[in-house]
Amino acid sequence: MKNKITLQAVLPAVLCFSLMHALAQPGGGMGGMGRPGPGPGLSGSMKKVFGKHTAFTANVEMQLARGEDKIVMPGKMVVLDDKTRFEMDMAEIKGGGIPPDAAATMKQMGMDKTVTITRPDKETMYMIYPGLKAYAAQPFKDPDATRPESDFKAEVTELGKETVEGRACIKNKVVVTDNEDLKHEFTVWNATELDNFPVQIETSQGGARVTWLFTDVKLGKPAAALFDPPTDYKKYDSLMALMQEQMMKRMQQETNPPQ
């Protein structure tokens, strides 16, 4: 029997998905300097870690580990100045105590694949669902995005040389301090053949170890159109409104299946 989509089935999947998505991205959930933040983005301390690399495309595997528990979430990241685009598939997430049927439930709803675009210049975050040809526009304000670069100072200490994913890297300790004397510490592996791009970053966040591993890195400006939602997709004013409409459609289909 085909599983029915119910509120009880959907909420755990959406909550797990949303929590990991917010926490496991560079700058996400940290507000750049260890403070609660509004969502993903490269600003504040993370901007100092990436340095001059403000335009790139890369695959990224993000890990959030607390003791024996670990979440692994692969995706694709595109950055152009303060704009970010992150693509992911919930079926590829491993660990974290996700309900076994969560990915199947999200796929059934057409919400398993997502694209998240953050636009600090518009104070907007777009949650895009290609499977639904729809997106939600949410308010997004990153206070670090409007702070001058001079508010943040980075102290870099070389720790040695290591190889990451076949690339020769300089391993550095990076301590970023803002003008309020708040500090955040990172261990960074800068690939020499990629103009010192940080192909691996580790830090601590809320008692957990957070790691980002970048592969298939392409330096250079991506197309500006990647940071806008498709014009032929239906727009919703909130993610909740999008979810409610999709749930109603699915429930009606289950109540009155095609003959």
Question: 45 with 187: CB under 8 angstroms?
Answer: no
E runs forming strands in the chain:
55-66, 69-80, 83-89, 94-95, 113-119, 124-129, 134-139, 152-164, 167-178, 183-191, 197-205, 208-219, 234-236
Q: Which of 2, 43, 15, 30 is nearest to 147 (CA)?
A: 43
**Residue 259, pLDDT score:** 60
**Residue 100, pLDDT score:** 66
**Residue 233, pLDDT score:** 96
Question: 174 with 163: CB under 8 angstroms?
Answer: no
Per the document, the length of the chain is: 259
DSSP string of 194-237? GTTEEEEEEEEETTEEEEEEEEEEEESPPPGGGGS--TTSEEES
Q: What is the mean pLDDT, run by run of 10 residues, along the chain of 259 residues?
A: 45 49 44 35 82 94 85 91 90 74 74 89 92 91 79 94 96 94 93 96 86 95 96 91 80 67
**Residue 38, pLDDT score:** 33
Alpha-carbon torsion (47, 53, 54, 58), positive or negative: negative
pTM (2 d.p.): 0.82
